[in-house]
Structure 1
Amino acid sequence: MVYRGKPSKGCAICRNRKKKWDQAVPECGQFVSQKRPCPGYRNQLDLCFVDQSSQVAEKVRKASPLNVTIIRSSPTESAITANGLMSRSFFRLKEWSYPDAFETFTQIPYHLSQSLDQLALNLFMTNYVGRDATQYQFDYLPDFYQQPGLDKNFSLSIVAVGLAGFAAVNNVPVLVHKARMKYSSAIRAVNLALASPDTAKKDSTLVSVMLLGMFEIIISPSQQSLEILMKHLNGAVELAKL
């Protein structure tokens, strides 16, 4: 589920003609004055999110190294460290054109120098952020990162979503636990931001609320998650009115 930006509130005819909506309810004022039937308005909450799971999975597949298969043992808490992810995992190189060349190198320890938070941030930026609004749902986020003093609730929410996405794609239960811990920290930071009228009006607070809703769908796509998502969306709508 992905955020698609603020959709137009006008009816289909007003959008096609690029007419400004006069906010008349239940029909556009121009149709009432012209005694013409109005096609009606779209549900704004239904337009906020679009399922792009298949697109993200395709990006991850294309980003995988050629002729490399990941073999994992059962991950434990000790297998994930601050300096690397799943130190018990291995790459097994397939014997392709030169089988003799790989005879003595069938398994290579897999170790990352990045922290989990940095890894989650990179995954989020790779799959959800870009300048093309037709392909990326958070095309405006680079502007936030150019601003000094990044809000804690904003950064925690991004890392939580990134960890959730990494756990879902790679099926790593330990990462699910870490993602939920980061989510809890983000919730506390957002609640603290909402307690102040000044920070509650900030765009970063609004985006954080949307990200927390996105987390629920990624980490546990269920009816309960959809209900929690709707609560986040309703909260985001109220913040947008401030």
Structure 2
Amino acid sequence: MVYLGRSKGCKPCKQRRKKCDEIRPSCTTCVNTRRTCGGYGNKKAIAIQEYDSRKEVALPIRSAARDFSLPIRERRPRTGTLAKIALSKEVPLRDVDDLNLRSFLHEFCITPTGPATSYGFLREIEPRLRQLDEQSNLAKACKMVAIASQGTKLNRPAVLTSKAEKLNHELVASLAIDLQHHSAASRQDDPLVVMLLGLYEMIIANNSRNGFHNVHASGLVALLGLKNHPISVLEALHDGKSLGSLRKGFTNGEQGVLAMPNHKTLTESLQSLLIALLRIGERVKVTSTEGLIDCDEKVWLLREALELDQEFAQWDESQDRTYRPNIIGQVGQASTTSEYNVGYWPGRVDIYFDRYISGIWNIYRAARLYLSEMISSLSNGNRNSTTELKQVQEMDVLVQDVLSSIPYHLTDNLYGFLNQIDNRTPLASVGKAASGVLVMHPLHVISNLPAVDPAVRSYLKKCLVWIEENMGVGQASIFAKSSTIETEDFASSCTLTLIGMMV
């Protein structure tokens, strides 16, 4: 027999001996026949290669992550009602759990190519899953998150959300037993499970179920021996204290988790700048609320804020060109702002080294815009007109940088998006849910700053709603409806995301 190479086509098409166009995530044949597309890989492609004790490093492992999903449940053209659910075919029940795990790894894990290039998001989850049984609490938590997210994305809430909620109840009960009866050594995965329980609540958040992730954020920081406040979490991530096994594989030293790889300059780290910003913001808030702020104190706070702004600028200037955005396209002006569909704000379209790096840049931009707003408030318009104009120009640049990053975060095929810019069709090839989680906090902050153009703020809120509807992260839509930044929900969400960037 002559070997003609690896057979092509998805699993259902090969079994049915049908021609497959190999479109991802689901081929056209499977979509038209209402079958679940079984993928294009084979078992060898996801085989786990074990550690070789004769060598000093582990053999390379190919990720099992895969974008596996049912077709989106479409709405009927005139009534807008959802079409009747058609059950999937040809995917055995025994394979569903494995496919859900692989979907989680695809949607929520950003795996770096190495610690010298990026730090990723939830990067340690897959290596840990390879050491555990499929019925472990960690595996169940991953499946729960994936199923809940798919329920929103695919317009199948009743079918999938109920299954995810059942897993949620099982995990909470199991976790309570673990904490009471098992030793600390046998509970090494508990912080990861608690973090994923919090992420689950962020995903399914809606008007009637809002803020449930707060209790998991509190539980997580308690397990790690921290105080329940973003400042405390940032300080712990900065110095590495009390993080135990969650710090495995983290090698960024004094720069902390919020840093560009190989950052070796003498400037302050972004983490330390954020800590200083939060502390100034707290003092301004407390003194203003209690009516204790006087002229001398205001001048002192303004001086501190201005010095901090210079340090932020120095951090920006010190970054390696490798990790700066590159312009790859341009969106033209629409006739009215109402035509600015998500992704189509006029201006540049930027591309980044990866989504972790883009997330760091947007955290910096949101922080500096927040600081600029604070400086304007403290100065009461008494600053030099030239200085005031310079600050306004700097804010405009920061806002445009954020707007230019949105297509990169929200689509998985940026070049495909560029090819359809002139048609202004809705964003296709929706990006990973992790990308939506990373970008939604900066968008929320900027969309609530009074100094930012109201049209921009409205557009950013539209983007947050889009993240909920298309990426399956309900907390983004809650943020879109909120008119305040410093809330417990926002702080808890930031805490869970920061620790997700750590592991």
Match of 2:189 among 183, 186, 204: 204
Once residues 187 and 123 of structure 1 are traced to their aligned partners in structure 2, the CA distance between those partners, rounded to angstroms, is: 22
Displacement of 1:225 after TM fit? Answer: 2.8
Letter in 1 for 2:104: F
Secondary structure, counterpart of 2:105 in structure 1: helix
Deviation at residue 139 of structure 1 after TM alignment: 0.4
1:1-242 equivalences under 5 Å are 63-65=24-26, 70=31, 111-115=89-93, 116-132=96-112, 136-147=120-131, 152-172=136-156, 173-196=158-181, 198-199=183-184, 202-222=187-207, 224-226=209-211, 228-241=212-225
Report the 3-state secondary structure (helix = DSSP H, G, I; strand = E; otherwise coil) of the residue aligned with 1:232: helix
CA distance in 2, matches of 1:164, 1:136: 22
What residue identity is the alignment partner of 2:172? Answer: I
Q: Which has the larger radius of gyration?
A: 2
Give the Cα–Cα distance (whole angstroms) in 2 for the partners of residues 162 and 144 of structure 1: 17
* 1:76-134: CA deviation from partner (whole Å, max 9, x where unpaired): xxxxxxxxx98xx9xxxxxxxxxxxxxxxxxxx95242433223212101112243285
Structure 2 CA distance for aligned equivalents of residues 200 and 212 of structure 1 = 21
| Post-superposition offset of 1:70 | 4.3
Shift of 1:196: 3.1
For residues 66 and 201 of structure 1, do their structure 2 counterparts lie closer, same or farther at Cα, with a shift above 3 Å needed?
closer
Change (3 A) 1:119 1:112: farther
Where 1:225 maps in the other structure, the secondary structure is coil
- Distance of aligned partners of 1:205 and 1:72 in 2 relative to their CA distance in 1, 3 Å threshold: farther
The two structures have a TM-score, normalised by structure 1, of 0.51
- CA drift at 1:214: 0.8
- Equivalent position amino acid for 2:108 in 1: Y
CA distance in 1, matches of 2:174, 2:32: 37
Deviation at 1:136, TM superposition (A): 4.2
Asked whether the equivalents of residues 190 and 205 of structure 1 are also in contact (C-alpha less than 8 Å), the reply is: yes
Question: Which residue identity does 1:180 align to in structure 2?
Answer: E
For residues 170 and 221 of structure 2, what CA distance do their matches in structure 1 show?
A: 22
Distance 1:136 1:120, change over 3 A: farther
**Within 2, Cα distance between the matches of 1:149 and 1:117?**
12
Measure the CA separation in 2 of the matches of 1:157 and 1:67: 31
Give the distance between the partners of 2:125 and 2:205, measured in 1 at CA: 25
Which residue identity is paired with 2:195?
M
User: Secondary structure at the residue paired with 1:221?
Assistant: coil
CA distance in 2, matches of 1:70, 1:137: 31
User: How far off is 1:63 after superposition?
Assistant: 4.0
For the 8 Å contact 1:160–1:179, the answer to whether it is kept is yes
Alignment correspondent of 1:9: none
Give the structure-2-normalised TM-score.
0.26
Q: Deviation per CA, 1:127-166, whole angstroms, max 9, x where unpaired?
A: 1224328584210112312435677322221111111112
Distance in 1 (CA, whole Å) between partners of 2:150 and 2:33 is 15
Change (3 A) 1:66 1:233: same
Tell me which amino acid in the other structure corresponds to 1:191. Answer: A
Q: CA separation in 2, counterparts of 1:71 and 1:225?
A: 37
The residue identity in structure 2 corresponding to 1:211 is L
RMSD: 3.7
SS of the residue corresponding to residue 178 of structure 1 reads helix
**Worse-matched range after superposition: 147-156 or 184-193:** 147-156
CA 161–230 in structure 1, closer or farther in 2 if over 3 Å, else same: same
Contact 2:134 2:140 in 1 (8 A): no
Query: For residues 197 and 222 of structure 1, do their structure 2 counterparts lie closer, same or farther at Cα, with a shift above 3 Å needed?
Result: farther
Amino acid at match of 2:222: E
Structure 2: runs of 5+ lacking an equivalent: 1-22, 35-68, 74-86, 226-241, 243-503
Which of the pair is proportionally richer in helix?
Answer: 2
Relative to 1, partners in 2 of residues 1:200 and 1:192: Cα closer, same or farther, differing over 3 Å?
A: farther
- CA separation of 1:199 and 1:192: change in aligned 2, threshold 3 A: farther
Aligned-partner Cα distance in 2 for 1:174–1:71: 21
How many residues were matched structurally?
Answer: 150
CA distance in 2 between partners of 1:135 and 1:169 (Å):
27
